[in-house]
Amino acid sequence: MKNRRTITKVRSGGIILAVKDTVVKHVKIINTSSKYVLWFRLSKSFVNTDEDVIFGIVYLPPEGSRYASSDCFLDIESELISLFNDNKYVCLMGDFNSRVGQLHDWFSADEFQSRLHKCDDIFKTGIETRTIIFDDFQIPLHRVVKDTHVNNFGYKLVEFCKNNDIYLVNGRVGSDKAVGGLTCKGSSTVDYVVASAHMFKFIHGFDIIDFCNLYSDVHNPISFSISPVALNVDSSESIVETQSCVKLWSLDRANDFQNNIDSSKVKAIENELDILNGNVNTEHIRKDTVNGLLKNLCDVFLSSAETTFGLIKKNNKRRNKCNKAWFNRECRNARKKFHLAKRLHNKSPCFKHKENLRLESKNYKKVMNECIKTHRKDLTQKLKSLRSTNSRDYWKILKGPNMSNKCAVDIKSMYDFLKNTNECSDSFNEEVNIPSNTVDNHDCENILNTNIHEEEVLAAVKELKNNKAAGYDRVLNEHISSTVSIFLSLYTKLFNLIFDTGVIPDEWLTGIVKPIFKNKGDPTQPENYRPITLLSCLGKLFTSILCKRLELYVENLSLISECQTGFRKGYSTLDNILSLHFLMNLVMSAKKKLFCAFIDFKQAFDTVWRNGLWYKLLNNGISGKCLTFIRNMYNGVKSMVSINGQSSDFFNCNVGVRQGENLSPLLFSLFINDLEEFLASKSVGGITIGVKDSSTVETEFFMYVKLFILFYADDTVIISESADGLQHALNEFYTYCNQWKLTVNVDKTKVMVFSKGPTPKNVLLYGCEIWGFESLDIIERIHLKFLKYIFNLKSSTPTYMVYGETGRFPLYVTVYTRMICYWNKLLLSPENKIVCILYKYLYEKVCKESYQNAWLSCIRNIFNSCGYSNIWNDQMHFFINNKCLKTSVEQRLKDQYIQKWQSDIRESSKGQIYNIFKTEFGPEKYLNLLPKKFRTIFIKFRTANHHLPIETGRWCGTPKLERTCHVCNRGQIGDEYHYILECNVFGLQRKKYLPEKYHCRPNFYKFSELMKTADYNVLTNLCIFISKIYEKVCPP
């Protein structure tokens, strides 16, 4: 999409390109600076040509419009020559707003002139190419046109065609051949397709479709097609796959699903498990036996699901069915009438049928707009109700029915990418020496390696989440949880058999990779997708039990560092965020700096070195059946890619831990858990908090913390108190990564320094020390305009009110202060500086009154106005601290302005009410207390930005005593005080919204206190009351 550079409220003139999903990978947008054309490239592999085809979508604003430019054709031509001069397949299309009439878009070179200027070869080549192609494909050189009128843009378009050896397609190809149809309002031709001569070999269809206001208010759609020898559409995408699958789970039929379970097959499986578990020697149990058991169990589930819910056939063939939620029966009826009118008009294009088509198309468009409006209104109400009641449905609606996570990468490219990622290098096959002294295995045997109990299985089943995708075995969590009463004993026996033998079913080792776009980068590149692996729900149920045991084990032995907050019960990412916030405050309060390196690992989970992981698990005392299962779980792992209804071959997964598997987060945490200890052993400084000294009393609370690093899973922050310390930590971190084969994403790893520095000044005052003395009026107008804009105040709002409400001083206070500071810095600089030499020279000349300098005069006037003339007069012998001088001058300028501000309020007729409650200069508290809606109401009321009689009478020149309230007719002046505390029409609302102490025996003091209150509830009620006053006194 390409918008105009200047975006207005009424959008027009933009360019948009819509591409089908099956073609998007062959299309590449070419970004250029032109606002008149959107270029894109169609790959040669797609169209079977010898080079890419260049297309440009054009929109030229009509002559005489505010957006028109006389150089628009020159702009397009310069890009065409600079970017695509060597391309022979070029095509531009769109609204040129040009009427070319019968002008020739071709030329025949004069032989004498060609030889004279030595360019006969160039002309001859271009003409021969055109002649050969036009003759071979029977394309007429002379076009037939209905619109014979020519405008200025028409002459330029023809000249553009001649200069670039391209030709108009209109009137030469397709159904428009020898017709030259009209494209705008039925009276002119302004929409064209222009193409190079070589493109005409492929353009086979060109139609100017009948006008319909469904498409445009004035333009006819143009349709044209290119047909090379054979379009190279991927065969994998053209195959229509039809497969059967079980219908979606329905909670209403859960009991039916349970009743349809074949109990005899369940009993047979359980008997076989009893025999196998009773076997003393389980080492001889083969994988085929376990695979057979699991297959029989899955068949029981799938058979019951098929009986209960039935089968649904999926057909990937496209259907031209409208899937818009707003497209209801009313829209279908209107569409039906529109198509009927269109057929009648095409059959007999008389005036009656033309008028009928116009009315039906108008009605169709009207009905659709009304249905869209109604649908959006209903959807808004539904979202409001679901937001606090059902977050799942809320986000489901918000994402929309068409947000299907469709992958723009073809399945072969994704397969090759994931296959290469999962192929380990020789270094990953390196063996690690198993540690001889591991942690005492007593806890390991008691917690990790004991038999699995039914209570554990039941607790794990209760934590299963519904609406999750199935793995390769097609068993859902709903199948498991709804039948736990039948299968609990069977699950326990099956899991114990697998745990004791270490034999894992193949279907638990098989994953289906669903790539999810990361919403960043090029969607056609595989690396910009997150490969989520769908695994067996039964397998994940087992690993969830093992994960619970591992979590208990590492927490009991405190194996996980306190710096790691990822995937731990009672910990969250907020803990590290707040810790970092506290560290920043502590360091900055001590006037130090905090140096942080935010580390991003490249494909952290997917590239874990497994041999290194087994070493670290053993080093933490994790052994026996638990370790055997984990190692076997990653032995023979394979996955397949599933994209857009298609599946790839299997590929082996030789590195990393699987994303989507229960154990993966904890395994990764254990893998990098020793990083803190590693950094400490390398004398990395980190940051120390709470250093004990001799003055510390024993009864005082004391804590000593030394931090090197913060973790949240693979998100890592290395911290230090100095730049050298951080560099040393990063050097050692690099060593650690090399040792354990971790890769850092350098592009996403950032270093940040937190320090307490001065608030940056706005860019408006950059360099004001030099130019500030002469441009203050302009700068001040910008300053005031900005303040009035953000508070939605009228441009006529008095300056003293704007500054009084915000507590801001005019910019001249800042500018003059900075000028004086720079002047003092100049005096204290070395005398040999060029600027100092020039200053002293000019100062001497000014003192002798033989020369005038505006900058020096301004400095002198600032000192004189502040009462510091002696500093200026004796500057060569007067030395003063820059900070003291700045404070003195700035305070004097502020005091002077506050005096002027008070004087302006007293002297202004508009400020009489304002003077009652605004007695001190400074920012009002309500600006930070109230939300934007109420803040705007209150500040506009305080600053007379309203339509009360006191203000509207001022606009009309009505004397003040005659600006009376017209709702109570008591003859009182209709000002702010009257409506808030006196007008009897608002008596009930006043009692409802204002505390009694204000409206009981009202006076100006109470009015002042009410307007200055910092009570949030009083302020919000007051704003509601003011809005009620507006509704009655100044209706829209």
Residue whose pair of structure tokens reads 């990822």 in the numeric block: 566
| pLDDT on residue 695 | 46
Q: Cα–Cα distance between 488 and 560 in angstroms, integer?
A: 33
For residue 319, the SS3 value is coil
At 928-984, the pLDDT tens digits run: 999 999 999 999 999 999 999 999 888 888 898 899 998 888 889 999 999 999 999
At 873-897, the pLDDT tens digits run: 888 776 677 788 889 999 999 999 9
Tokens of residue 41, six digits = 């490239």
At 297-326, the pLDDT tens digits run: 999 988 888 888 887 665 555 555 556 788
Residue whose pair of structure tokens reads 């507590």 in the numeric block: 807
Lowest mean pLDDT among 106-120, 153-167, 902-916: 106-120
Enumerate residues 6+ apart whose C-beta is below 8 A from 308: 253, 256, 257, 260
Q: Cα–Cα distance between 157 and 96 in angstroms, integer?
A: 8
Length of the chain counted residue by residue: 1036
Taking each helix axis as running N to C, give the angle between helix 624-633 and helix 484-501, from 0 to 180 degrees, rounded to the nearest 10.
Answer: 100
Per the prediction, the chain carries an average pLDDT of: 83
At 477-521, the pLDDT tens digits run: 888 888 888 889 999 999 989 988 889 999 999 999 888 888 777
| pLDDT on residue 100 | 93
Residue whose pair of structure tokens reads 């009905």 in the numeric block: 367
Q: Cα–Cα distance between 592 and 938 in angstroms, integer?
A: 42
Burial pattern 166-203, b for ≥16 Cβ within 10 A else e, equals bbbbbbbbbebbeebbbbbeeebbbbbbbbbbbbbbbb
At 329-355, the pLDDT tens digits run: 999 999 999 989 888 888 888 888 888
DSSP state of 527: G
Question: Please, are residues 673 and 559 in contact by the beta-carbon 8 Å criterion?
Answer: yes
For residue 487, the SS3 value is helix
| pLDDT on residue 321 | 55
Average pLDDT over residues 53-76: 87
Phi, psi (deg, nearest 5) at residue 599 = -95, 135
| pLDDT on residue 903 | 93
At 378-406, the pLDDT tens digits run: 988 888 888 777 777 787 777 665 555 56
Tokens of residue 1001, six digits = 């025996």
Q: Cα–Cα distance between 130 and 104 in angstroms, integer?
A: 14
| pLDDT on residue 439 | 47
| pLDDT on residue 759 | 63
Dihedral of CA atoms 607, 610, 612, 617 in degrees, nearest 10, equals 120
Cα dihedral sign for 348, 354, 360, 366? positive
DSSP state of 55: E
| pLDDT on residue 1017 | 93
Q: Cα–Cα distance between 836 and 825 in angstroms, integer?
A: 10
At 111-160, the pLDDT tens digits run: 544 454 445 554 455 566 677 788 888 888 888 899 999 999 999 999 99
Give the closest residue to 1022 by CA, choosing from 942, 933, 938.
938
Q: What is the pTM of this model?
A: 0.59
Question: Please, are residues 684 and 631 in contact by the beta-carbon 8 Å criterion?
Answer: no
Give the number of other CB atoms < 10 A from CB of residue 49.
21
What is the percent of the chain with per-residue pLDDT over 70, rounded to a whole number? 87
SS (H, E, C) 217-239: CCECCEEEEECCCCCCCCHHHHC
Measure Cα distances from 563 to 145, 684, 708 in Å. Answer: 78, 16, 9
Q: Cα–Cα distance between 25 and 575 in angstroms, integer?
A: 43
| pLDDT on residue 925 | 92
At 43-53, the pLDDT tens digits run: 888 888 888 89
Question: Please, are residues 784 and 800 in contact by the beta-carbon 8 Å criterion?
Answer: no
| pLDDT on residue 10 | 54
Q: Cα–Cα distance between 724 and 684 in angstroms, integer?
A: 10
Q: Cα–Cα distance between 1027 and 1033 in angstroms, integer?
A: 10
